[in-house]
Amino acid sequence: MGSTSRAGSVGSLGIVGGGVIGLAVARRAASDGWDVRVHRTEQRGASWVAGGMLAPHSEGWPGEEAQLAIGLESLKLWHSGFLAGLPGDIVTARRSLVVAVDRADVADLRTVADWLSAQGHPVTPTTTARDFEPLLAQGIRHGFIAETELAVDNRALVAALETACVDAGVRWAPPVTDLAEVDADVRVIANGIDAPTLWPGLAVRPVKGEVLRLRWRKGCMPLPQSVIRARVHGRQVYLVPRGDGVVVGATQYEHGRDTTVVVTGVRDLLDDACTVLPALGEYELAECAAGLRPMTPDGLPLVGRLDERTLVATGHGRNGFLLAPWTAERIARELAVFGGAQ
Ligand code: GLY
């Protein structure tokens, strides 16, 4: 048992990982009375690079029914209180517009829309997409609107969660290379792609994604109001509004832990972004970065119990921000069992 839990707490909890998942779990556990320490590194991980879309509909694809179900459950939590008490301007868009450029792209979009309807979660189709977003390129007509999807400023959210954690009594601790270094009654492994270094055998692998940040300049056309996701001649691109510009993402490839931003990745993203929203050509190219998504073989996150005092919360793939509230609730449920047993 850990030796450091504060008097009156349910017990001590050591969370390894200070990204959106670790922080969401920490805030929730602290509010349930746990004495929480978050072991975190100085390095910026996937949460820093992320687009911040909360988009279970527009990320969906037939066969991914389980992902859709937990994504929708988590989106409800975003709408029903996860943001309560978090400081700052966090939400940057309140719907997604999903559009298609050529006929094959339109067919892909219909596949998704039909599947969502069959799942009981219809989206709103349109053949006049420019009525919803006048900045779209001429000729882009077909799309659907996901009315309840959100986007958040990933960096503002992480900063807000850190503040909320501190306010709730969470303490910061140095990174660890071995779970034995975590002096706590219960441990949560929430360090993304590094989870297997603490618990060998966890099936999480890095999937690289390059993301650009474009900044609005005086004289440019205004920012889009919705998240715009597009299929562009078979590739996918997303444009996520921010207070000062647009986040453009994302490439996806398996190159181990390589986070070099490469020319073809940036070129493809810019080509596709400007095909969809030509006005972006006048924006400043402010940042190019790459993150490593923690992906699992079946695309579902690893959230649950590993042994009598260890929990895991990783493997969120493309949906770490979306699934943060759901993960925090799941871990809170597991912790209630531990807490009750102490
Ligand atoms: N959330 C989208 C991505 O990982 O690119």
Q: How far apart are the first and last CA of the chain?
A: 10
**Token pair of 322 as six digits:** 């979306």
Position 338 scores a pLDDT of 75
Same-domain pairing of 209 and 71: no
Atom of ligand 1 nearest to the CA of 53: 1
Convert the pLDDT of each residue in 110-120 to its tens digit: 999 999 999 99
Domain that holds residue 177: 11-92+151-203+297-341
Position 4 scores a pLDDT of 61
Tell me the residue type at 223.
L
For residue 319, give the CATH number of its domain: 3.50.50.60
Give the integer Cα–Cα distance in Å for 270 and 75.
Answer: 29
Enumerate residue ranges in the chain where pLDDT < 50: none
Same-domain pairing of 175 and 239: no
Same-domain pairing of 274 and 258: yes
pTM of the model: 0.96
Q: Is residue 327 part of a domain?
A: yes
Residue with CA at minimum distance from ligand 1 atom 2: 318
- Longest pairwise C-alpha distance within the chain: 65
Q: Is residue 125 part of a domain?
A: yes
Number of folded domains that form the chain: 2
Query: 24 in ligand 1 pocket by Cβ < 6 Å?
Result: no
Same-domain pairing of 120 and 213: yes
Position 76 scores a pLDDT of 98
Give the integer Cα–Cα distance in Å for 305 and 334.
Answer: 7
Report the Cα 267 to chain-centroid distance in Å: 24
Give the integer Cα–Cα distance in Å for 29 and 170.
Answer: 9
Alpha-carbon torsion angle 295, 299, 301, 305, nearest 10 = -100
Which sign, positive or negative, has the C-alpha torsion 68, 72, 74, 153? Answer: positive
For residue 248, give the CATH number of its domain: 3.30.9.10
Q: How far is CA 278 from CA 140, 168, 221, 266, in A?
A: 12, 45, 10, 16
Same-domain pairing of 182 and 133: no
Same-domain pairing of 168 and 235: no
Convert the pLDDT of each residue in 43-71 to its tens digit: 999 999 999 999 999 999 999 999 999 99
Residue with CA at minimum distance from ligand 1 atom 5: 250
Residue among 53, 240, 295 to mutate when testing ligand 1 (max atoms within 8 A of CB)? 53
Last residue of a domain, one of 272, 295, 318: 295
